[in-house]
Amino acid sequence: MLLLDGKKLADELKSEIKTETESFMAAGGRKPHLAAILVGNDGGSLTYVGHKVKACEQVGFKSTLLHFEDSISEEQLLNEVKKLNDDEEVTGFIVQLPLPKHINADRVIMAIDPRKDVDGFHPVNVGKVTLGLPAYVSATPLGITKILERYGVETAGKHCVVIGRSNIVGRPMSILLSGQSATGNATVTVCHSRTKNLREITMQADIIIAALGKPEFLTADMVKEGVVIIDVGTTRVTDSTAKAGWRLKGDVKFEEVSKKCAAITPVPGGVGPMTVVSLLLNTLKAAKHEVQ
């Protein structure tokens, strides 16, 4: 079984991004600047944004964190988005999700200038990805394609089963895998909570992308020998033996499933670090004006 080590790969890619950024700036390019909007004090969101800011420092980008109270109104938030759209010093920015219930996340995402949408959530970028045009690809699916590419996992002609159809993971992942690219050309089945006989489908899979957010959902009796598994799930599960009082669990029952796998990502240390790196890749792309 090959462990698809996202942490190690992320470190390698960060070092490549740092070198590329230095050359870009030496040739007169402006230092890439990633801004992040964070609303409220959700533990997960604080951690994720913290990782993103730290990663910017590691590769020589500038970063700015705009942290607002839960009580910020939708109108005020839209105004902050507009300011970042208009700020020539900012290369790209993200709005960390989830947002409080009184704010319409779709409206906020739609307000982002697609040219600065380094999370790849704006419909213009989603549409371009669907058409195979240059675009900002949503960070988690982009990170997964990098894992497949760098570890030489062949996708062409393979049956890929994506469990989950969210706009940020499952849906874009299924589009990328079925597209015409080095990490595409697969036959893709997308499963969700209304899928019947899920086990019958996962048993046929050469590659499974588990992105449903249900800890240890995928068990050994649901997969065939030699399968490749990408575990996107990250759920905080209470654990009194852990220092924090919780532990991150993936959607796959790693201990038993990994015994049948040709390759598998761990949680933590798999998809998570690659998501952060993908955001850096998109920001560097924005700095180079590669997406119009």
Whole-angstrom distance, CA of residue 133 vs CA of residue 124: 11
Query: In the block, which residue shows the tokens 């890439």?
Result: 32
The active-site residue, picked from 14, 52, 128, 285, is 52
- Is 281 among the residues that bind ligand NAP (CB under 6 A)? no
Site size with ligand NAP, rule: CB under 6 A? 25
Q: How far is the CB of 242 from ligand NAP (least distance, A)?
A: 18
34 secondary structure, DSSP code? E
Residue 23 identity:
S
Is omega for the bond preceding 100 within 30 degrees of 0, making it cis?
no
Residue 119 identity:
D
The active-site residue, picked from 14, 116, 117, 119, is 119
Q: Convert residues 199-218 into a mask of x (bound to ligand NAP by CB under 6 A) and - (unbound).
A: ------------xxxx----
Q: How far is the CB of 202 from ligand NAP (least distance, A)?
A: 10
Q: How far is the CB of 192 from ligand NAP (least distance, A)?
A: 4
Tokens linked to 270: 């798999």
Residue 85 identity:
N
126 secondary structure, DSSP code? H
Neighbours of 246 (CB within 10 A): 14
Task: Judge residue 234's burial from the number of C-beta atoms within 10 Å of its C-beta, 0-12 exposed, 13-18 middle, 19 or more buried.
Answer: buried
- Is 170 among the residues that bind ligand NAP (CB under 6 A)? yes
Closest CA to 112 of 90, 128, 130: 90
Among 205, 263, 271, 284, interactor with ligand NAP by CB under 6 A:
271
Q: Convert residues 218-237 into a mask of x (bound to ligand NAP by CB under 6 A) and - (unbound).
A: --------------xxxx--
Q: How far is the CB of 170 from ligand NAP (least distance, A)?
A: 5
Is 96 one of the annotated active-site residues of the chain?
yes
- Catalog residues that contact ligand NAP under the rule CB under 6 A: 140, 163-166, 168-170, 191-195, 198, 211-214, 232-235, 271-272, 275
Residues carrying an active site annotation: 52, 96, 119
